[in-house]
Amino acid sequence: MVAPIVNTGIQTAKYCNVAGLGVLIFDYFLTLEPEVRWTWNRRWDVGRIVFVLARYMPFAAAGMTSYAAIATRANEDCSHFSRASNAIHIISIVAAEGLLIIRTYAFWKRNKKFLIVLVVLAAICITCAVTITQVVDNIVSTPANPSDDNPGFKDPPTSNCTFEAGRSSAIQYGFLVAYELLLMSLTVFKKYKDYRDSNSRLVKAVFQGGVLYMTAIIFVSVANIVIMSAVPASYDMMMDVPQLVLHSMLASRVLFNLRESDQAADEGTTFLMSTFRPNQRHISLELD
């Protein structure tokens, strides 16, 4: 007997999200040694705090989503759990984006006005994404209430624990794509404006790592938008944890590769981000 398409979609989404948690755990142990080497002995500053959030918050977010996928919760109110899960998801992705903002800020020679603009634009994107999504959800999901015309009517028990996401969630990924494209454009512009003639391994690591990260996130975010917009609604949650896991994995690797390139460069000069200068051959840098 063929399962109804809605059940097939929900099951597929559940498998993808639980598999995403497994990938996150597996990748953590693969990268534990570089984490110990490149972060554990560093001082606690903004960069390290953002890294810890991007590295460890996804475990809570992916765990909560996986629990929602496999738990049987009939006639329960899951709204508080869902809101908490969504908030942790957002914090995790924002932290990963924070590492990219720090990298872009460093690439632009630690221009504080530039950093303020990036942070303000990020705050605007987050606020608009969350607010518009909530407004659309409220408009679309408000059903007619039979009790309005019949005072004696009692609503039947319902559950909001269905493992599905509203199509309006695509709006959030749309804002994420727009911001990634902005950071990528700024990185490419600065590379060919000020670092075109640089042969530094570190400059290449900063540029190539950032561009690869942003390209991957843009690709997955666009895939998420397509899934939420063009396929049956039961598949909407399919890329929820995979997107989160990709953010965490790439953000960690970008940081590890950057610090490894910094140490491996035998160019003779230690060069902090605060003194990043274009068109110099010998460069070394630290994120903290």
Vertex 180, ends 89 and 252: CA angle to 5°? 60
Q: Which residues contact 186 (CB under 8 A, 6 or more apart)?
A: 104, 108
**Would you list the domain boundaries of the chain?**
5-136+160-275
pLDDT tens track for 206-263: 788 888 889 999 999 999 899 888 888 788 888 889 999 999 998 888 788 777 776 7
Helices 170-194 & 201-230, crossing angle to 10 degrees? 160
Residue 234 is predicted with a pLDDT of 81
pLDDT tens track for 123-173: 999 999 889 988 887 786 655 454 444 555 444 444 457 777 777 788 889
* Residue 192: Cβ-neighbour burial (10 angstroms; 0-12, 13-18, 19+): exposed
Report the pLDDT averaged over residues 20-35. 93
What sign does the CA torsion over 235, 241, 244, 248 have? Answer: negative
What sign does the CA torsion over 232, 236, 239, 241 have? Answer: negative
Mean pLDDT estimate for the chain: 79
Residue 120 vs residue 1, higher pLDDT:
120
Residue 141 is predicted with a pLDDT of 62
Query: Which candidate, 46, 169, 58, 60, places its Cα nearest to that of 98?
Result: 46
Highest mean pLDDT among 4-8, 76-80, 85-89, 178-182: 178-182
Highest mean pLDDT among 25-29, 85-89, 252-256: 25-29
pTM of the model: 0.78
Residue 53 vs residue 2, higher pLDDT:
53
Q: Which fold has domain 5-136+160-275?
A: Rhopdopsin 7-helix transmembrane proteins (1.20.1070)
Residue 110 is predicted with a pLDDT of 85
Residue 281 is predicted with a pLDDT of 41
d(CA 184, CA 107): 12
Tokens of 231: 């396929």
Residue 55 is predicted with a pLDDT of 92
Report the pLDDT averaged over residues 261-281. 48
Report the pLDDT averaged over residues 110-115. 90
